[in-house]
Structure 1
Amino acid sequence: MEMSIPVLLISMLLFFVLFFGIGFLLNMILRTTWTMAVLSPFVFIFFIDQIPFVEYFTAPVASFGHVKERVLSLALADLLILSSGFVGAVASGLVIRALRAKGYRMF
């Protein structure tokens, strides 16, 4: 299915804001800096893959093979949307780090 340019740009913005917000809150509450940047690849795999979580432990070779196949079959628009989410997660870590360096204490 083809995606128009406005839909792609809005989707990228929404994923950026979503991952930035979740990352900012997690980093603030857990008092860490890069929590969402580390967790975001797992969230992306959860979005991409349709295999139940238990199968990663019961049949790991088949599960990871399926994940590899699904990731390699993603369209450019999907990769752009997911990468903008990752950029949002990294940006939240950078903002938390800058705020803490300037003396702001969060929780």
Structure 2
Amino acid sequence: MLQIIVAMMLFFVMMFGIGFILNMLMKTTWFPIYLYLIVLLPLGIYYTWDDSMNFAQNMGAYTIVDYLPAITALAGAYISGTAIRSLRRGGYKMF
């Protein structure tokens, strides 16, 4: 149980940090979410895909331990976008 909590915190902080830096560099607010949903999540599914099973069996092979870090990483990407947006609204021009 402790390992999943640590993994969730690490994924959250990692995606928040990467998203915050990408938002600063690229001047786009929601790019990290798009990057996560379009590139990272499908790559993670692709590398664990088993061709001998159908789609439902492949998705059923994932457990809650697989879903929780992915959900917290998505939350970190979203919160990085809202943090940048609030900083821009606050008048910080470098963001």
Q: What TM-score results when the alignment is normalised by the length of structure 2?
A: 0.83
The aligned residue for residue 96 of structure 1 is 84
Structure 1: gaps of 5 or more residues = 52-62
Q: Distance in 2 between matches of 1:80 and 1:87?
A: 11
1:48 aligns with 2:45: yes
Please give the per-residue CA displacement for 1:24-69, whole angstroms capped at 9, x wherever unaligned: 1111100000001111122022123228xxxxxxxxxxx9x97775
Contact 1:48 1:70 in 2 (8 A): no
Structure 1 residues 98 and 45: CA distance shift in structure 2, 3 A: same
1:75 is matched by which residue type in structure 2? T
Give percent identity, aligned residues only.
35
1:32 aligns with 2:28: yes
- Out of 9, 12, 17, the residue aligned to residue 13 of structure 1 is 9
Q: Distance in 1 between matches of 2:18 and 2:57?
A: 28
Q: What TM-score results when the alignment is normalised by the length of structure 1?
A: 0.75
Structure 2: gaps of 5 or more residues = none
2:93 is matched by which residue type in structure 1? R
Q: Distance in 2 between matches of 1:36 and 1:98?
A: 16
